[in-house]
Amino acid sequence: MTATVVWSERLLGYDLGDHPLDPVRVDLTMRLARDLGLLDRPSVEVVAPEPATEAELLRVHRQDYLDAVRAAPDDPFFRGYGLNTPDNPVFDGMHEASALVCGATLAAARAVWSGRARRAVNVAGGLHHAMPARAAGFCVYDDPAVAIADLLAGGAERIAYIDIDVHHGDGVQEIFYDDPRVLTVSLHESPLTLFPGTGFAEETGGPKAEGSAVNVPLPPATGDAGWLRAFHAVVPAVVRAFRPQLIVLQAGADSHRLDPLANLRLTVDGQRAAQLAVRDLADELCAGRLVATGGGGYALVEVVPRTWTHLLAMVTGEPLDPATPLPASWREYAAARLPGRAVPTTLTDGGDVAFTPWQPDGTDPLDRAIMAARRAVYPLHGLDPHDPRD
């Protein structure tokens, strides 16, 4: 089994100052993966990306928006299209850097769809908030959507997109809301308490694609056990009913209890368990075909490098033992890159990933959220929302 890791240091080639989306998180991830030997596994092919072309971007984004992204860095007073805001500041080479991230996710998707790789990953990707003509939530171009649109153009008929970022995957959902070929599944903190304010259970797809959007909004403070109960209560049955040919995973790390921008309480161990659950679905339903990206995650040293190193291990072969100590070389590098931050010593938080399976008589806020999601979407797939076997 060949696994493709799409990577080049050119993916770090942008500067957002003190903005939360600091490329140091990707740098530290890839350095940790390298120091642990993941990129030297015999099954791994490391591929350098090329920027997405204008034609590839136009499968998702509007021409006037591409023109605005190119023009905005040269105009300090630029306004419109969601650009030049605190969330989405302009920067030199913005179009080129954003197109390269899209090109990296395109390369991963094409490697899997062509059969060259069973799994592939671009940890710099997962920018799921960008809309066809608007930047949002730190995202300029929507690389998962661009890759999915490319797969559809290449003949794919059923793609499942599973988003485990703490924020709703609103851009990808919006872009494919009326397309029955794409199932978008998002588990996220409740839109009542967190950006972008969408992702209610009742959002189930447009008139031409009812049931193609699945949303599981979780109460703030949900931890590993609750998150995993919700995932297993909703996601596997719907994805099985959809019968995807390929799964795209957006593996944002901002559901962690240390993330400064959100309110869920997962550990690295819980995030690892979530990644493996998605891999298991790919193995069961679509011959293992899985394309993974990064996403959100703003605990730059404490969390993101460990979570995405687990992601890289999962994609490229056997998962890493959570008790694996972090190499001294990496800990020294991390301390030098971000002085004063707490540098972890192992790949685990010591989290407990056991959970109680969902039952329909639950009355706490989490179980009510699970039932709301099941009631909204299960009947559209011929499933019984009240039967825990579905």
Active site residues: 129
If DSSP codes are grouped into helix, strand and coil, which group holds residue 290? strand
Distance of CA 359 to the CA centre of its chain: 28
Distance of CA 65 to the CA centre of its chain: 23
If DSSP codes are grouped into helix, strand and coil, which group holds residue 208? coil
Beta strand 159-163 pairing with 44-47: unpaired
Q: What is the DSSP letter of 327?
A: P
For residues 255 and 166, is the Cβ–Cβ distance under 8 A?
Answer: yes
Residue 276 CA to residue 138 CA, distance in Å, equals 27
DSSP H helical segments within 114-169, as ranges? 143-153
If DSSP codes are grouped into helix, strand and coil, which group holds residue 249? strand
Residue 56 backbone phi and psi in degrees, to 5: -70, -40
For residues 292 and 311, is the Cβ–Cβ distance under 8 A?
Answer: yes
The one-letter amino acid code at 276 reads L
Q: Which residues lie closer than 8 Å to 381 by C-beta, 6 or more apart?
A: 211, 237, 238, 241, 242
Peptide bond into 23 cis (omega under 30): no
The one-letter amino acid code at 303 reads V
* Residue-level length of the chain: 390
Residue 385 CA to residue 364 CA, distance in Å, equals 17
Task: Transcribe 29-65 into DSSP letters.
Answer: HHHHHHHTTGGGSTTEEEE---PPPHHHHTTTS-HHH
